[in-house]
Amino acid sequence: QSALTQPRSVSGSPGQSVTISCTGSSDDVGAYNLVSWYQQHPGKAPKLMIYDVSKWPSGVPDRFSGSKSGNTASLTISGLQAEDEADYYCCSHAGSYTHWVFGGGTKLTVL
Amino acid sequence: EVQLVESGGGLVQPGGSLRLSCVASGFTFSTYEMNWVRQAPGKGLEWVSYISSSGSTKDYADSVKGRFTISRDNAKNSLYLQMDSLRAEDTALYYCAREYTTSGFDPWGQGTLVTVSS
């Protein structure tokens, strides 16, 4: 059960776009269109931002978008805002026994 | 309002046991799959355990397999995690989370802190 690989940190200026990658394997990200993304501010519970690779839960702005190619999923945040500064985690289904696996997390800094 | 509230965390010695509870409200608990996810201090999220809506299917992370047991009582809208043979590395904030349609966890509870230390 290896964690999915995410960059430790990314940064961008307000108004810019940033992309966070999430690399897994043919057993998880590559095998299922069941990737989700979470935003976590300090001291708060994670918040679902994207599910099923590219779908938005109710209330999440469409500045957040998800995609997948092969064993790598990506979260793109466009029109960066100060409140987007947070930790972001990806998660993928990983089969019947492992069930779910998370990425190590990426700290987004808005410059 | 859809809500999950965890309880049962605390300080326990290595080798000890704890039982976490999660009470759900605002939705039909018995129709949703549920999970426990933990976060060690200053670290990332780690999936711990899954249970199907009926309770018939259960999965565990390798790190807790054989030591933790997930269960649910649909009549009481409650999810549980029995944690035995606790280790220092089990120290974390434990969240319960509902599975959102096909993938994703939403909502999450506020978490309950488990500290394993002598």
Token pair for B70:
């997930």
Q: What is the pLDDT of residues B9-58, one digit of tens each?
A: 999 999 999 999 999 999 999 999 999 999 999 999 999 999 999 999 99
Between A2 and A25, the more confident residue is A25
Contacts of B38 in chain A (CB under 8 A): none
Residue of A nearest to B62 (CA): A1
Tally Cβ neighbours within 10 Å of residue A23: 17
Q: What is the pLDDT of residues B62-104, one digit of tens each?
A: 999 999 999 999 999 999 999 999 999 999 999 999 998 888 9
Q: Count of CB contacts below 8 A, A vs B?
A: 77
Q: What is the pLDDT of residues A3-56, one digit of tens each?
A: 899 999 999 999 999 999 999 999 999 999 999 999 999 999 999 999 999 999
Partner residue facing A97 (CB), from B59, B104, B109: B59
Q: What is the pLDDT of residues A50-75, one digit of tens each?
A: 999 999 999 999 999 999 999 999 99
**Nearest Cα to Cα of residue A41 among A111, A110, A100:** A110
Interface test with B, best of A100, A101, A107 (most B CBs within 10 A): A100
Instruction: Supply the pLDDT for residue A1.
Output: 64
CA distance B80 to B6: 9
Token pair for A14:
């307000």
Interface contact B100, partner A, CB < 8 A:
yes
Reported as a pLDDT band with limits 50, 70 and 90, residue A86 is very high
